[in-house]
C-alpha cells in the first residue's frame, strides 16, 4: 500500500507540473462586442495623409487595412486602451477616448484576441505596457528606447512571449515600386534617410499574425 500511495502522489505532482494553467481574462460588453483583457484593437486606415501612407506600404490583403493598434485592459468593469498615439505619446486612457473621438470620421475598429495557447502571456504584457507609459511618440519609426510608435508599443509589451516578430520595414509604394512620395518628403523634413530595411513592425503586419483571432468590428 505505501508504494501505491507514493506512486499516486508522484503522479499528482507530475500532473500539476506539466499541465499548463489557463488564466481566465476579465471581459465586459462594449458596444456590440465583449472586450477582453489583452485584446488588441486595430483602427481602420484612411486613404490619405499619414494614415493612408502607412497603409499603402504595409497593407497585405485588400480586406485588412489598419494604421493604428493598442492593447485593451479591462479593470473595475471599465475598458481602457494602452497605446502610443500621435501627440499624446504612450498613454493609458478610457477606450471611449479613442473610439468615440474617431466615430464621426468613419474610422472602423476591429477587435482581435490571442489564441487560447497564448492567453497566459496577457497579464505580463499589461504589466510591461505600463512601464512604457509616459514616453513620447516615435515619429521617425526607427526603433529606440526613448520613444515608441503604436505597433512597436504592442510588440514590446508581448516580447517576453515572442508573440510578434520584427521585420525589415519598407516604404516602397507597390504601385510604382519606388519610395512612396509621402515618405520621401516625410523623412526629408526630418533631415534623415528613409529607413528602408531597418527592423520594425506595423499594424497590418501584427493583424496578420497567426496567434491572433479576429473577433469582429465595434459598431456604434
Domain segments of the chain as ranges: 22-165+202-217
What is the widest separation between alpha-carbon atoms in the chain? Answer: 81
Cα 191 to the center of its chain, rounded Å: 29
Cα dihedral 187→192→194→200 (10° resolution) = -100
Query: Which pTM does this prediction carry?
Result: 0.86
pLDDT in 10s for each residue of the chain, 220 residues:
455 554 444 444 444 443 344 556 889 999 999 999 999 999 998 777 787 788 888 887 766 789 999 999 999 899 999 999 998 999 999 999 999 876 556 688 999 999 999 999 999 999 999 999 999 999 999 999 999 999 999 999 999 999 999 999 999 999 999 999 999 999 999 999 999 999 999 999 999 999 999 999 998 7
Question: What CATH number is given for 22-165+202-217 in this structure?
Answer: 3.90.1720.10
Rounded to whole angstroms, how far apart are CA atoms 207 and 42? 8
| Residue 68: how many other CB atoms lie within 10 Å | 23
Amino acid at each position: 500500500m505505501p508504494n501505491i500511495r507514493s506512486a499516486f502522489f508522484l503522479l499528482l505532482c507530475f500532473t500539476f507540473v506539466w499541465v499548463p494553467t489557463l488564466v481566465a481574462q476579465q471581459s465586459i460588453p462594449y458596444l456590440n462586442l465583449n472586450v477582453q483583457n489583452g485584446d488588441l484593437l486595430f483602427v481602420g486606415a484612411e486613404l490619405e495623409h499619414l494614415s493612408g501612407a502607412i497603409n499603402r506600404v504595409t497593407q497585405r490583403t485588400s480586406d485588412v487595412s489598419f494604421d493604428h493598434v493598442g492593447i485593451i485592459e479591462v479593470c473595475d468593469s471599465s475598458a481602457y486602451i494602452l497605446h502610443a498615439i500621435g501627440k499624446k505619446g504612450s498613454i493609458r486612457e478610457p477606450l471611449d477616448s479613442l473610439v468615440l473621438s474617431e466615430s464621426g470620421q468613419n474610422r472602423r475598429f476591429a477587435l482581435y484576441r490571442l489564441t487560447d495557447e497564448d492567453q497566459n502571456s496577457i497579464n505580463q504584457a499589461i504589466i510591461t505596457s505600463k512601464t512604457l507609459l509616459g514616453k513620447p511618440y516615435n515619429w521617425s519609426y526607427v526603433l529606440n528606447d526613448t520613444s515608441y510608435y503604436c505597433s512597436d508599443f504592442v510588440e514590446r509589451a508581448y516580447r517576453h512571449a515572442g508573440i510578434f516578430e520584427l521585420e525589415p520595414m519598407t516604404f516602397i509604394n507597390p504601385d510604382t515600386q519606388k519610395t512612396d512620395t509621402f515618405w520621401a518628403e516625410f523623412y526629408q523634413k526630418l533631415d534623415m534617410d528613409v529607413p528602408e530595411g531597418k527592423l520594425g513592425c506595423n499594424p497590418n503586419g501584427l493583424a496578420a499574425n497567426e496567434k491572433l483571432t479576429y473577433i469582429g468590428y465595434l459598431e456604434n
